[in-house]
Amino acid sequence: MIFSNISSIYQFHAEFFLPELQKRMEDWHRNPRIGDVIQKLAPFLKMYGEYVKNFDKAVELITAWSEKSPPFQELIADIQKRKVCANLTLQHHMLEPVQRIPRYELLLKDYVRKLPPQSPDRGDAEKALEMIFMVAKHSNAAIAEMERLQNLWVVYQRLGLEDDIVDPSNELIKEGPIQKISTRNNSTSEKYLFLFNNMLLYCVPKVIQVGAEFQVHLRMDVGGMKVRELKDTEFPHTFLVSGKQRTLELQARSEEEMNDWIQAFQDAIDRKEKRSETFKTAVHGLETDTPALKVVCARCSDYKAELQYDGNRPNRVCQECFIFLTGHTVLEDREGKHKGILEKGAAEVSSRSLLCSSLQLLDKNGKGGTRGWFVIPQDDPLVLYIYAAPQDVRAHTSIPLLGYQVRDLPQSECRHLFQLVQSRQVFTFVADTEELKRRWMKAMARSAAGITEEEEEDEDEAE
């Protein structure tokens, strides 16, 4: 749990990246280029995302076990005394892989800047730099998305799994305790608010917290909501939230807290209204046969254009609107590079895949699990994408396959089982048939070994 997939990262560098670069440097006088090498191997660098996601948890584990386990503390101290550690802490060495991709980007920028204008490597080096930039960008986006969904799941658990909020479109804006003012008996009672981008959950803290901290009493839509401060001498720091379902008179603990809540509500309302206005514009465009403006979420597009209705500030738009508004063209071969590791549609990927089918991924105890649509794309053959269904436009997770071992399991209760194993990380799959299981095992083993379809074809031709 501390070192995550560092063994796979090391294997990639030791067996692939470093030998390729060394081979090129030995032949530098005849072929002075590295851009093509980096382009070929850049997709492998996506595996750093897994390590970076785990880093904070890893450091917490070291700190926790150093405090509660003297033998563990002694072991770490002994390691850090060794000459190879150069008087640096274990945490310092663990930070190196986190900084590796940004370091590659800086080195490659410097390399491109110093290349002569007519260098044979200029075109490849610039493309390689773009690919490294996108790896870093999409890795960070995947990490942020994972953290956001994890936060939603924590809230979901605190609500006792009563409310369906774990949805990719939901974003938690603010939460906290609040006092509800009752006008009937002129008293207050303690409540708790969860404000999302599209709804407000008005909750009551549970006295006996068995499985949940709160019970949802009311769900209010942000659409059509209004918020304003109330001037009440008897109940200071109060504000009014009115929506389609109900009106709430709420009291904060201070003026600063009240202003924070009002600002959070107003931000959510403004964002909702902006989305609604964009939708109306799009519908109007369709009705009048004029180009309709489609503003999209951050995860759906990398294209930005200045929008008149938003003070000419840059907003993310779809590709068609980007071309229409800016007059710029978008090369088809670049379109794929704008899609992150989780952003390729299932149908698009499945049509150009090494293997795709329905599988079941079992949970850790091997009893339950999630059935989904699993794909290994031709253009990304070292990553397994997992979709909820074949028609989904977005993968909900992915597994970098390089370095894993594929393990066969005996048939159990008519289930065709196999595993991906690396250190303590184990994924157990169930295929519908034994033949399908064998196909998946072969495809995953090939990807785990770093063998691409092109390399297989070259070997076949050589034979």
Q: What is the pLDDT of residues 184-205, one digit of tens each?
A: 677 888 999 999 988 899 998 8
Q: Identify whether residues 29 and 111 lie together within a single domain.
A: yes
In this structure, the answer to whether residues 323 and 420 fall within a common structural domain is no
309 in the same domain as 263: no
In the prediction, which pLDDT does 122 show?
92
pLDDT computed for residue 192 by the predictor: 93
Among 157, 187, 220, the domain-final residue is 157
Q: Examine the domain organization and report whether 445 and 362 are in the same domain.
A: yes
The least confident of 56-60, 127-131, 153-157 is: 153-157
Between these two residues, 319 and 226, which has the higher pLDDT value? Answer: 226
Q: How confident is the model at residue 458 (pLDDT cuts 50, 70, 90)?
A: very low
How far is it, in rounded angstroms, from Cα 319 to Cα 167? 25
Domain stops at, among 107, 139, 157: 157
What is the total count of domains within the chain? Answer: 4
How many CB atoms lie under 10 A from the CB of residue 41? 18
- What radius of gyration do the chain's Cα atoms show? 27
Same domain for 328 and 455, yes or no, is no
**In this predicted structure, what is the pLDDT of residue 210?**
63
- Do 116 and 211 reside in the same domain of the chain? no
**232-254: burial string, b at 16+ Cβ within 10 Å, e else:** eeeeebbbebebeeeebbbbbee
Average pLDDT, the chain: 80
Residue 331 has pLDDT above 70, yes or no: no
Of residues 391 and 176, more confidently modeled? 176
Segment 415-435 mean pLDDT: 87
> 168-172, 334-338, 398-402: which has the minimum mean pLDDT?
334-338
pLDDT tens, residue by residue, 347-378: 777 778 889 999 998 877 666 777 888 999 88
Q: What is residue 266's predicted lDDT score, i.e. its pLDDT?
A: 93
Residues 143, 18, single domain; the answer is yes
Instruction: Note whether residue 1 is domain-resident.
Output: no
Q: Looking at the structure, tell me whether residues 10 and 146 fall in a common domain.
A: yes
Q: In this predicted structure, what is the pLDDT of residue 13? A: 92
Quick check: is 138 in a domain? yes
Contact 252, 261 (CB under 8 A): yes
> Looking at residue 371, what is its pLDDT?
84
Q: CATH number for the domain including 255?
A: 2.30.29.30
Indicate if 362 and 238 belong to the same structural domain: no
For 294-303, the pLDDT digits (tens) are: 655 544 566 6
| Same domain assignment for residues 282 and 261 | no
In-domain check, residue 143: yes
141 plus 52 within the same structural domain? yes
Write down which residue in 295, 311, 336 finishes a domain: 336
Residue type (1 letter), 94: M
pTM to 2 decimal places: 0.41
Are 168 and 74 spatial neighbours (Cβ–Cβ below 8 Å)? no
Same domain membership, residue 363 and residue 387:
yes
191 belongs to a structural domain: yes
Domain of residue 288: give its range: 274-336
Supply the CATH number for residue 50's domain: 1.20.900.10
pLDDT band at 263 (very low <50, low <70, confident <90, very high): very high
